[in-house]
Amino acid sequence: MIEYQLTLKHWLGLGFLTLAIVIASIQPLELFSYVLHQAGTAFMLIVLLICLKKIGLTYFSFALYLLFLLIHIIGAHYLYSYVPYNEWIKQLFNFDLNQAMGWTRNMYDRLVHIAFGLLLYPFFYRLFQVWLPTLKPSVLLLLVIQFVITTSLVYEWIEWWIAIGLSPEEAENYNGQQGDIWDAHKDILLATIGAIMTGMICLLKAPKHN
């Protein structure tokens, strides 16, 4: 169901996200990089609320959007490269994920990029559905995937543009490449894969029209 107003469930989600921001703001690893990342959070929240009011969103897409922001907020606190997800998994399940997967770097940033496509697909789909209401769902799927690729690329450009004005240490803290020269390419690919996965699920579950 498309909703145009904030209801109790929306406020609860926003309240939880606000609490996460407050907690994440307590002694972040590097304040300057943290503020840069959270500026993006504030921008995305404004976009979400405007779109809810202007074009309407399902609560499902609203909640997935907030989940993506939560994942991002956790990453911002730890500069992405230092999120101790492996230590958390070891403590909870006595399982070394990095060793099992053969990972030699912190992979949390990869999670955020695949989540960008996975979790924000319904939100982007709604945008194109409103802008181009006569298009078939399969065409909208392709447009959303292209939009995810484009926005991922633009984000990498913005990261690069910001980084060139920082010291090498600050740039590394902000970008979190961890020495991987193909970092941006892999990030864009993962966002694309995420969008394709959610897009195909949504397309297959969509009601068939004769």
The pTM score is 0.88
- Point out which residues pair with 57 in neighbouring strands: 3
The 10s digit of each residue's pLDDT in 27-76 is 998 888 899 889 999 999 999 999 999 999 999 999 999 999 999 999 99
Mean pLDDT, the chain, rounded, equals: 90
pLDDT in the model for residue 171: 59
Amino acid 30: pLDDT: 86
Residue 36: per-residue pLDDT: 87
pLDDT at 99: 92
Contact status, residue 151 vs residue 188, Cβ threshold 8 Å: no
Q: Which residue has the tokens 């297959």?
A: 204
- CA nearest 107: which of 90, 92, 85, 87? 85
Q: Residue 8 — pLDDT band, cuts 50, 70, 90?
A: very high
CB 109 within 8 A of CB 80: yes
- Predicted confidence at residue 64, as pLDDT, reads 97
- Given a cut of 60, whether residue 86 has pLDDT beyond it is yes
122-165 tens-digit pLDDT: 999 999 999 999 999 999 999 999 999 999 999 888 877 777 76
Convert the pLDDT of each residue in 181-208 to its tens digit: 677 888 899 999 999 999 999 988 876 6
**Residues in CB range of 152: below 8 A, 6 or more apart:** 113, 116, 187, 188, 191, 192
Higher confidence at residue 63 or residue 179?
A: 63
Query: 191 near 113, Cβ under 8 Å?
Result: yes
Looking at residue 210, what is its pLDDT? Answer: 46
Q: What is the mean pLDDT of residues 169-189?
A: 71
